[in-house]
Amino acid sequence: MWRVSDRTWNAAVGYLAAVVFSGVVGFALGATFSTGCPLDPQNAPFGCAEFLISRYQTMIAAAIAAIAVFPVWRQVRLQGMQTDILKSDALRHRIATLSKMRDDLGAQAAVVRQELQWYPDYIKTLSFWVHETAAQVDRFLDFVSDQKALRLDGERVAAARADLMGKLNALSRDLWVMNWDVHLDGEDAPDEEQAQKLQAEATTAEANLEMTIGATLRSVGALNAAISEDISDARTKLHALSESLVTHDA
């Protein structure tokens, strides 16, 4: 938004005061030499200038009022500048925090991605890999959930984070169910009917695992992109505020 600089307003107020003063003096001198105003004591006991001031008092009062308003207006502008400075500081903090959030997300995601990419070609013992990967996915899910506690999520980030957490929950469940016979034994061992049901779920989970992994990794990328968009928006707002402050100071 275009704003008039303080220097321009100072000059305008100075010109207005000079015009008012010059007008009154000029009218007074001109009327005195041309006998344009009555000099009798009843109409102008203090001379022609007093007569003209009385005649044009409304205009003069309006000009004086306009000049008197200038300090108030300047104070409002200064308060606006202070607000813009506070907003700029908040935006810088947001950009720095979001950038760290994105970097931390990338570092944590890289660990999980490396683990997931072992499947299916580089797996020697499926049960062991499933156990280790499920633990990694759960840790990553906790990390993503903890980042939400920073309360910096914009609308796009919140949606992308919710989608990723849903994908991670689904992947974690599929991985754990694939090892159901390892984790359920002794008193927790299921009966035959439950075992058949869990085995069916494990078979389905393994059949869909590559697709589930792909969807999870795409969701990680979507969250990263959403955070980057938030950073870009914050930088755009900060640039606009910086230009506004420069205009104030000009």
pLDDT at 238 over 50: yes
pLDDT at 3 over 60: no
Other CB atoms within 10 A of residue 1 CB: 6
The one-letter amino acid code at 45 reads P
User: Is CATH 3.30.390 the right assignment for the domain spanning 88-249?
Assistant: no
Mean per-residue pLDDT for 61-70? 64
- Angle at the Cα of 99 (from 98 to 100), degrees rounded to 5? 90
For the segment 109-141, what is each residue's pLDDT rounded down to a tens digit? 999 999 998 888 888 888 899 999 999 999 999
158 membership: H or E segment, kind and range: helix 155-178
Residues 6+ apart with CB under 8 A from 113: 217, 220
Tokens of 40: 């009798």
pLDDT of residue 1: 40
Measured between alpha carbons, how far is 53 from 59 in angstroms, rounded to an integer?
Answer: 9
Q: Are 131 and 179 in contact (CB under 8 A)?
A: yes
Measured between alpha carbons, how far is 234 from 232 in angstroms, rounded to an integer?
Answer: 5
Q: Are 148 and 104 in contact (CB under 8 A)?
A: no
pLDDT at 208 over 50: yes
Which band of pLDDT confidence, cut at 50, 70 and 90, is reported for residue 41? Answer: very low
Residues 6+ apart with CB under 8 A from 17: 63, 67
pLDDT at 94 over 60: yes
Mean per-residue pLDDT for 195-218? 92
Mean per-residue pLDDT for 156-171? 95
pLDDT of residue 33: 46
DSSP 76: H
Q: Which of 59-63, 97-101, 156-160 has the lowest mean pLDDT?
A: 59-63
pLDDT of residue 212: 95
pLDDT of residue 152: 83
Q: Are 83 and 219 in contact (CB under 8 A)?
A: no
Measured between alpha carbons, how far is 129 from 203 in angstroms, rounded to an integer?
Answer: 16
Q: Are 114 and 82 in contact (CB under 8 A)?
A: no
Percent of the chain with pLDDT over 70: 62
pLDDT of residue 191: 75
Residues 6+ apart with CB under 8 A from 67: 13, 16, 17
